[in-house]
Amino acid sequence: MIHDRPGAVPFVKGHGTGNDFVLLPDPQGRLALSPEVVAAICDRRTGVGADGVLRVVPSHLDPDGAAHADEARWFMDYRNADGSLAEMCGNGARVFGRYLVDALLAPAGEIRIGTRSGVRRLVVPPSGDVSVDMGAVAFPGPDGVGVSVGGRVWEAVAVDVGNPHAVAFVDDLADAGRLLDPPVVTPPGAFPDGVNVEFVVVRGPAHVAFRVFERGVGETWSCGTGACAVFAAARRRTPADGAGEWTVDVPGGRLRLRETAEGTVELTGPAVLVAEGELRPDWPGSR
C-alpha cells in the first residue's frame, strides 16, 4: 500500500462473484463519507468504480458499531453506490473478511465483524472461498407483493435477510429485460426503505439462478443477501429438495448456501482482492 502522499486516502478494490467494492481502511475512525463522496468513488467513469464502499473501522469508533465492540473488533460500514447506508451485504462481508486477513488485521479462521444487521461470523481460510453466517431469514410479509418490469407482472415473496427483498420466480432470466430502471413493486408503500428485487429460475434440484436489481445500485452481477433470500424462498417453494447445500448461480459466478444447525443461513463463495492504491488529495471525491 502506498502511504507517502500527504492527504491521500488509501483504498483496496475487491469483489465477490463480480459484486465489486472499494474498501477504505479507517483505523482511526477519521474518514467522513458523505453520500456525494461515496457516489463519486463508485462512479465507473469518473471514479474508481464499484457497487459499494466498505469502510474498515474499529467497532468502538463508529456510532453504529459501538454496540457490538465487545464481540467484534471491526465494523463493516457499508454504503451503496448512491451513497445510501445499507444494513448488510453478504458478498461485501466476505471481501471484508479477506481484507482483514490479507492486511494482518485478523488471523485466518473464524472472525466476527459488526454490521448494521448485527454481528456476523466469518470463516476466512488463508486462501480460497470465504463463508459468512448471514443470520436468520424471515418472511415478514406483506402478502400480495407484485413485481413489474416492462408491463409484465409476477407474484413475489417478501424476504428479510437483515435487509428487504422481493423474490419473484420467472420462466427465463431474460424476462426481466435490461433492468435499467428499478422494477415497480406493489402494493405502494410495502417497502418504505426500498427493496432489492430478485428474478429467479429453477435449474434443477437444489439449484437456482437469479438476477438482481439492488436498491441504491441497479442491476449487479451478484448479491449475497439476495442469494440468501432466493435460497430461503426456493426451499419454501420446493421443500422436497431438503436441507442440504444448494447451488445458487449469479451472473458473476456461483455461490453455495446451506442452513446451519442453529437455523441460520451460511453463504460461501469467492472473495478476491484485485488492486490497491490511493485517492488523490486533490480529487474532489477524496475529501
The mean pLDDT value of the chain amounts to 94
Lowest mean pLDDT among 46-50, 52-56, 238-242: 238-242
Does the pLDDT value for residue 194 go beyond 50?
yes
Q: Which of 72, 73, 25 is nearest to 53 (CA)?
A: 25
Q: Is CATH 3.40.190.10 the classification given to domain 9-135+271-286?
A: no
C-alpha cell at 126: 488463508
Q: Which of 48, 86, 89, 200 is catalytic?
A: 89
Mind listing the pLDDT tens digit for each residue in 122-136? 999 999 999 999 999
pLDDT-based confidence at residue 6 (cuts at 50, 70, 90): low
Does the pLDDT value for residue 87 go beyond 50?
yes
Same-fold call for 9-135+271-286 versus 145-263: yes
With beta carbons less than 8 A apart as the criterion, state whether 98 and 130 touch: yes
pLDDT-based confidence at residue 1 (cuts at 50, 70, 90): very low
Full-prediction pTM beyond 0.75?
Answer: yes
Domain ranges, ordered by start, for the chain: 9-135+271-286, 145-263
Does the pLDDT value for residue 286 go beyond 80?
no
Is 228 noted as a catalytic residue in this protein? no
CATH architecture classification, 145-263: Roll (3.10)
Mind listing the pLDDT tens digit for each residue in 26-35? 999 999 899 9
pLDDT at site 185: 97
Q: What percent of the chain has pLDDT over 70?
A: 95
Residue 149, SS3 per DSSP: strand
DSSP assignment of 186-229: ESTTSSTT--EEEEEEEEETTEEEEEEEETTTEEES--HHHHHH
Q: Which of 156, 223, 230, 267 is catalytic?
A: 223
CA angle 204, 257, 108 (to 5 degrees): 145
With beta carbons less than 8 A apart as the criterion, state whether 36 and 4 touch: no
Is 42 noted as a catalytic residue in this protein? no
Residue 40, SS3 per DSSP: helix
